[in-house]
Structure 1
Amino acid sequence: MLIRTEAPSDILTIDRLLKSVFESEAEANLVMSLRENSKLTLSLVACTDDGEVVGHVLFTPVTVDGEDYAWQGLAPLAVSKGYQGQGIASALLSEAFETLPELGYPACVVLGDPNFYGKFGFQSAAMHGLECQWEVPEGAFQARSLTEEPLKALYRAGKGQVEYCSEFNEL
């Protein structure tokens, strides 16, 4: 399995992957919109030994109370149905969590299943005084530091509302 940065030739393959994994085309349309508006910070793909793209993860900028602390939002994460349960999502996240701090991004938020994302160091964002800009189920909005610094040391207010790129409002 090879994890690498998205290449221009991957765009349509990623689009097909997202449309096949999610119930609607909303995530695929979101990724295209983010790409067209140059809002991608990091886009990684997982490829088989034959070069087939079977996984994708995307990170985009988020703000805390309107301040840019270079934090990232993880969304979406997708693995082809025939390849799920083989550690591909873990490999994508592991690579991303090594790369993002090297690029100067100290923290990450995600909106998703706490049981799944908890395995990757995410904790309830509310524990850190953070709230999502949207109404979400308790515990679904999560955050983690990507550095040795505790999460609360990475923003000034000690609490705040996290806001994603405006393209997410179209979901």
Structure 2
Amino acid sequence: MKLSLFNLSLAKPVTDLFEQVFSDSEGAEEGKVIGDLVTNIISSTPEQDLIGFVASTNEQVVGCIFFSRMLLASDDVAFILSPVAIATDQQGQGLGQQLINHGIEQLKKLEVDIVITYGDPNFYGKVGFTQISEQQIEAPFKLGHPEGWLAQSLSGRTIPSIEGASQCIAALNKPEYW
């Protein structure tokens, strides 16, 4: 397996991967929604605000993650991990964890302070995320599942409590994703 930085030449296979994975797990309608989200993330997010990583085997994309900039009411440099997709037939083998750990190591090199995600605490806990409260770091929208609001410090400092609103990229800035 090869891990590499996402580039625009991979937009179609990456979008197809997300659509297929979410169709398999959540149904075709959700697959289309997530495929459209990924297309929007890729096409509308400024380059400096988006970092993606791809896992491929035999030149086929089998996993992808995106980190996009979050603006916090502090000087902390933050990114949110969302979305994540691992090919259905590759799940359960540690590929997602490997890809996320690779991405986090790259973010540390870029001096990112905090990485946030919104998802399954059992899965993301395996790669260093811990639950935070909406009082600690406010989400861009009210969370439907506050137990899934997770973060980790990449600077070695404790995750601070930050008063004030946070902002995500335009593609994620819709209440239905939260």
Q: Any conservation in 2 of the 1:125–1:131 contact (CA below 8 Å)?
A: no
Higher strand share: 1
- 2:115 aligns to what SS in structure 1? strand
**1:3 aligned residue:** 3
Higher helix share: 2
> Size of the alignment, in residue pairs?
165
How has the CA–CA distance of structure 1 residues 158 and 68 changed in structure 2, closer, same or farther, with 3 Å as cutoff? closer
Alignment partner for residue 62 of structure 2, among 54, 62, 65?
54
* 1:76-95 equivalences in 2 (<5 Å): 76-95=83-102
Counterpart-to-counterpart distance in 1, 2:20 and 2:75: 34
How has the CA–CA distance of structure 1 residues 132 and 6 changed in structure 2, closer, same or farther, with 3 Å as cutoff? same
Identity %: 26
Alignment partner for residue 171 of structure 2, among 141, 145, 167?
167
Question: Cα offset for 1:58?
Answer: 0.2
Q: Deviations over 1:110-150 (max 9, x none)?
A: 01011111111111121871232222213111111112222
Q: Any conservation in 2 of the 1:128–1:151 contact (CA below 8 Å)?
A: no
Question: Cα offset for 1:29?
Answer: 1.5
**1:35 aligned residue:** 42
**Length-normalised TM-score, structure 1:** 0.87
**1:44 aligned residue:** 53
RMSD: 2.0
Residue type at the aligned position of 1:148:
G
Q: Any conservation in 2 of the 1:18–1:78 contact (CA below 8 Å)?
A: yes
Structure 2, unmatched stretches of 5+, are none
Q: Any conservation in 2 of the 1:62–1:68 contact (CA below 8 Å)?
A: no
Q: Are 2:153 and 1:123 equivalent residues in the alignment? A: no
Question: Cα offset for 1:104?
Answer: 2.1
